Amino acid sequence: MKRLIFLTNLILCAILIAASVFWINFSENIADILRIITGLLMLGFYFAVINKATDFIIERITRDIEKIDLQCPQECNVYDELSPVLVKMQKINAATEIKIANLKKRKKHFETITANMHEGLIILDLDYRILSCNKTAIDILSGESSKREENYEEEIQNLTGKHILVLCRDEKFRKGLKFTDDAKKVESVIEIRGRTVQMFTGLITSKSQKTGIAVLLMDITEQADREKLRREFSANVSHELKTPLAVISGYSEIMANGIAKPEDVKDFSSKIYTESQHLLNLINDIIQLSNLDENSDFSFEKVDLYEFAQNALKQISERAEERGIACEIKGESIEINAIPRLLDVILQNLLVNAVKYNRDGGKIKVKIKLSEEKAILSVTDTGIGIPLSMQHRVFERFFRVDSARSQRQNGTGLGLSIVKHAVQIHKGTIKLSSIEGKWTKIVVEFLRQTI
Is residue 75 included in any domain, yes or no?
no
Is residue 318 included in any domain, yes or no?
yes
Please indicate, yes or no, whether residues 321 and 337 belong to a single structural domain of this protein.
yes
Please indicate, yes or no, whether residues 317 and 288 belong to a single structural domain of this protein.
no
Tens digit of pLDDT per residue, the chain (451 long)? 555 555 665 666 666 566 555 555 555 556 655 665 666 666 666 666 766 777 676 676 666 566 666 666 666 666 556 666 667 777 777 788 888 888 888 777 777 777 777 888 888 888 889 888 888 888 888 766 544 455 666 777 788 888 888 888 888 888 777 765 456 677 888 888 778 888 888 888 888 788 888 888 888 888 887 777 777 667 767 766 777 788 888 888 888 887 878 887 888 888 888 888 777 877 777 777 677 766 666 788 898 999 989 988 988 888 889 899 999 999 988 888 888 888 888 898 899 889 988 999 999 999 999 887 889 999 999 988 888 888 888 887 777 665 444 444 555 677 788 888 888 888 889 999 999 889 999 999 998 765 4
281: domain CATH number is 1.10.287.130
Q: What's the total number of domains in the chain?
A: 4
- Report the alpha-carbon distance of residue 418 to residue 232 in Å, rounded: 16
Please indicate, yes or no, whether residues 259 and 158 belong to a single structural domain of this protein.
no
Q: Can you say whether the dihedral through the CA atoms of 67, 72, 73, 76 is positive or negative?
A: negative
Is residue 156 included in any domain, yes or no?
yes
Is residue 179 included in any domain, yes or no?
yes
Please indicate, yes or no, whether residues 334 and 451 belong to a single structural domain of this protein.
yes
Is residue 430 included in any domain, yes or no?
yes
Q: Please give the model's pTM, rounded to 2 decimal places.
A: 0.50
Is residue 91 included in any domain, yes or no?
no
Is residue 73 included in any domain, yes or no?
no
Report the pLDDT value the prediction gives residue 408, as an integer from 0 to 100. Answer: 46
Please indicate, yes or no, whether residues 339 and 229 belong to a single structural domain of this protein.
no
Please indicate, yes or no, whether residues 363 and 448 belong to a single structural domain of this protein.
yes
Is residue 71 included in any domain, yes or no?
no
Please indicate, yes or no, whether residues 305 and 390 belong to a single structural domain of this protein.
yes
Please indicate, yes or no, whether residues 209 and 242 belong to a single structural domain of this protein.
no
- In terms of residue numbers, what domain contains 261? 221-296
421: domain CATH number is 3.30.565.10
Please indicate, yes or no, whether residues 283 and 135 belong to a single structural domain of this protein.
no
Distant-in-sequence, close-in-space partners of 428: CB < 8 Å, separation ≥ 6: 444, 445, 446, 447, 450
197: domain CATH number is 3.30.450.20
